[in-house]
Every structure is written in C-alpha cells, then in structure tokens.
A and B are shown apart, each in its own frame.
Chain A
Amino acid sequence: MDNKNSIFRFLIPSKGYNILFYLAIPIVIMALYLTFIWSPVERTMGEVQKIFYFHVGSAWNAFFAFFVVLVFSILYLVKRKRIYDIIAGVSAEIGVVFTAIVLATGPIWAHSAWNTWWTWEPRLTTTLILFFIYIAYIMIRNMEGEWQKKARLASVFGIIGFINVPIVFMAVRWWETNLHPVVLGDGNEQSGGGLEPSMLFTLLFTVATMTLVYFLFLRKGIYIEQLRLETSKLKAKWQEKEINREAS
C-alpha cells in the first residue's frame, strides 16, 4: 500500500487477498475433481455420498468461524479495536452461511442414507440451535445506534453463545439417548476410521479447501466492511462541506 492517503486505497484489494484468490481457484477445481471423479462411489449410498465431503467441510468451517467469533469478541472487549469487531461480525456471517449449507445438505444426504429428512439427533439439533444463536448475533449487530454499543453487545453475545454450544450438545445427547437408543451409528461420520483411504484423502482435501474459501470470504468481508466505513466517512465529509458552503 504505497498510496496510503488516497481515498481510493480501499478500492485496491490487498496483496493477501490476491494471493488467497489465485490460490483458491486451482484448489477448488482440484477439490471438485477429487470429489466427483477421482474418489470412488460409495457402495451402499451411491452418488449421494459425495455430498458428504461438502457437508463435513461446511460443518467444520461453521464451527471454526464461530470459534473465530469467540476469539475476536474477547479481543474486542479487551483491546477495543474496531477491526476485531469487524472480523467477528464477518466471521459470524460466513459461519451462518456455512451452517445453512450444512442444514441444507444434511437432509439431502440423510434422506438417502437414513431414509428420513431429519432426526433430532444431537449433532443435527446442536447445529440448528447454533444457526439460531448466530442469527440472533447478527440481529444484535443490525441494531440501531452507534457501532461501539453494537460491538460491545455483540461481543458479549458472541461469548455466551459459544459457551452455550457444548452444553446444548450434552443436553441433546442425553435427551436423545433417554428417549430411544442411538440408531444412527452407521453413518460414515460416526465410524471415522472406516473410511476408504482415497475417500479420506478427498475429505481432508475438501475440508482444507473449504477452510481456504473461508479465509477468502473473511478477507473479502473485511474488505467490504472497510469500503463501507470509508464510504460513510466520505459521505459525512461531503455533507459537512455542503453545509459549510450553504452557511457561507
């Protein structure tokens, strides 16, 4: 960033973003190739099983995104820097998108694997609650008022929201096992070690790709927020100038 004082400096994406972007293109194509062509078709579930790679990738990234929200919420409350608040907010938005992908791909997969769209299984229910918690988080961010207030309240909610997740998981797991035994133990997720090596490789590769995409989104989101900030600053400046002109 050599032209630091130019008002257009935010229009130029940073170097970090460019590197991420050009790195992501071949890797995403590679991930798609691995998923759809290279990895073997699962015997019992067939083609549908391929959704598993994106499902797990999104789930991992959603949790990771919400963890980032927690970290930057704490950082904001301690250091009070606006950038921490922006990162937390953007990460929550991406997390909600990934959770939505999990909640959309899950039933599709479940319908062919377990022959039901939805079960009140701990992981599913926790994901759903997680979705609601972070929608509430975004609602706090969209409150009226100055940004410091919103950032403060959102940080508090980001912290208690994340603390709540393990407790929800415990509660739902006990609730589920109390009512009827766990019947869904034969999914690929549960067995873990029972994966074909090529499938495992594809899974790890997709998860890594999704993480890369997460960082790309994060970078982009922060960039957009900065643009927004800059625009509002310019607007305020222009307004002031107009008022002064009118007055004189």
Chain B
Amino acid sequence: MRYFITPALLIALKDLYSEWRTRQVVVTMLIFSALVIVTFSFAFDPTRQAVEALIPGMIWVITVFAGILGLNRSFLSEQKQDQLHGMIVAPADPASIYLGKVIANYVFVFVVQAISIPLLLILFDFQVPGDYGWFLLILFLGTFGFICVGTLLSAVSIQSKSSEMLLPVLLFPLVTPIVIAAVEATRIVLAQDASISEAFSWMQLIVVYDLVFFVAGFLLFEYVLEV
C-alpha cells in the first residue's frame, strides 16, 4: 500500500499542482471544447428536433477531442528533463505511476466536462429529462475508460518524436467501443421518454471495457516505461 497508493496520489497531486500553477492544459482544453460547440452549431443547424439527436454525440466528441489535447501533454513535463527515469527508479510500483496519471488526467477532463457540458446544454437550450444521476454515472464510466486507454497510449506515443500525431491514430480505433456505447447510453438517458433499463446493457459494456483496460494498463505500463 505504501509503495502503491501513496506514490500514485503524490504523482496525481504533483500534476494537478503544476497544472494549477500554469493552468495551461485545462484552459486550452476548455477553449477548444467551446470552439467545438460553436463549430457544431454552424455545421448542424440546431433546431429543436436535431438537438436531441446531436447532444449525446457532441458531449462525447468534446470529451474525446479535448481529452486528447490533455493526454498529449500528460507525459511531456516528465519527458523534457528525463524525469521519467527518476520515476522509474523511485521505490514505487510502476503501476502506481499509471494510476497517478490516470487520476490526474481524469481530473483534467472532469473539469472540462463540468464546465463545457452545462455550457453546451445552455447554449442549445436543452433540458435534461428525468434523473441526472444516471447521466453522470455514464459520463463517469465512459470518461474513465477513455482515460485508462488514453493514459497508457500517451505513455507509448510520448516516446516518439511525433507524439502529437501518433496518439490520435493509436487512440481512436481503440476507443471505438467506448464512443459507441457511451453515445448510445447517453442518448437513451437523455431521451424524453427515458427508460433507463435499455441503457444497462451499454453500461455493462462500458464497465467491462473499463475493467479490461484498467487491468491491462496496470499490467503493461511497466513495459511501456522501461528503459
């Protein structure tokens, strides 16, 4: 426990603190997500009927695209001065670095979602019918799965010189199940005649995906970081 949870939390806190001092990544992600919303409103004329069909997709497009911006930077600060080596030789399980980074990245995306999704709902004048709880749960599960894979692949792609180009190419095919399942589940929950039970099978799929890739990240991260 001492060699696992504590280092993970320390790494997450370090990332969050340095982000708090610079506010570089999250602010860029926020501006980007606002621009995505604006671009969407130009690309699709948002009449009342269209909004209901568009909102679930837009929520996840914002999450995935803004998330990739953050993930690209996730290991950059460590890469710059070769601090990754310092982390590897530190007396901590390599998986704890993964856990720490997952927590930090999740918080970044969460902050972006917490601001941009209400903004999206306000700008498109959309009322969430029924329970917020299920919607938030789906958001949490989907984003978590995305971040799990994203953090692992971010550590892979950072070792290339063209990491910004490599990461989306690696990440998009792997997150297709999350995108499909999360968009469908969100659509069901946000529909006017929402019947939650239909969303359960999608949520199960997301949970399975989350578990599989969280465990895979835990086991494989060690090999990614090796020197």
Residues of A at under 8 Å CB distance from B?
77, 129, 132-133, 135-136, 139-140, 143-145, 149, 152-153, 155-157, 159-161, 163-164, 167-168, 170-172, 174-175, 178
Contact = CB atoms under 8 A, between A and B. Distances in A.
A224 to B, nearest CB: 24
B223 A160 contact: no
Contacts of A172: 176, 180
Interface of B: 149, 152-153, 156, 159-161, 166, 169-170, 172-174, 176-177, 180-181, 184, 201-202, 205, 208-209, 212-213, 216, 220, 223-224, 226
Given A136-B169, A152-B226, A174-B181, 7 more contacts: A132-B169, A152-B224, A160-B152, A160-B174, A163-B216, A164-B177, A167-B177
B220 A160 contact: yes
A41 B203 CA distance: 46
Nearest to A169: B177
A170 B177 contact: yes
B177 A157 contact: no
11 contacts: A129-B176, A136-B169, A143-B166, A159-B220, A160-B149, A160-B152, A163-B216, A167-B205, A167-B209, A167-B212, A168-B177
A175 B184 CA distance: 8
A143 B162 CA distance: 9
Nearest to B227: A149
Contact of B170 (A129, A152, A155, A157): A157
Given A139-B169, A160-B174, A153 B156 contact: yes
Contacts of B180: 171-172, 175
Q: Taking each of B173, B209, B220, which has the highest tally of chain A beta carbons within 10 Å of its own beta carbon?
A: B173
Contacts of A152: 223-224, 226
A110 to B, nearest CB: 21
Contacts of B153: 157
A167 B180 CA distance: 11
B161 A159 contact: no
Contacts of A77: 223
A132 B173 contact: yes
Nearest to A174: B201
Contacts of A159: 216, 220
A70 B223 CA distance: 15
Contact of A170 (B152, B184, B205, B213): B205
Nearest to B177: A171
A221 B93 CA distance: 38
A145 B220 contact: no
Contacts of A145: 159-160
A168 B174 CA distance: 8
A156 B169 CA distance: 15
A133 B174 contact: yes
Contacts of A132: 169, 172-173
B173 A156 contact: no
A156 to B, nearest CB: 5
Contacts of A161: 173-174
Contacts of B170: 136, 139-140, 157
B166 A140 contact: yes
Contacts of A174: 181, 184, 201-202, 205
A170 B202 CA distance: 10
B177 A149 contact: no
B58 to A, nearest CB: 18
Q: Taking each of A159, A170, A172, which has the highest tally of chain B beta carbons within 10 Å of its own beta carbon?
A: A170
Q: Taking each of A129, A144, A160, A175, which has the highest tally of chain B beta carbons within 10 Å of its own beta carbon?
A: A160
Contacts of B174: 133, 160-161, 164
A139 B166 CA distance: 8
A136 B175 CA distance: 13
B160 A129 contact: no
B142 to A, nearest CB: 12
A129 B166 CA distance: 16
Contact of B156 (A129, A157, A163): A157
A156 B223 CA distance: 7
Given A160-B149, A167-B208, A155 B173 contact: no
Contacts of A178: 184
B168 to A, nearest CB: 10
B138 to A, nearest CB: 14
A146 to B, nearest CB: 11
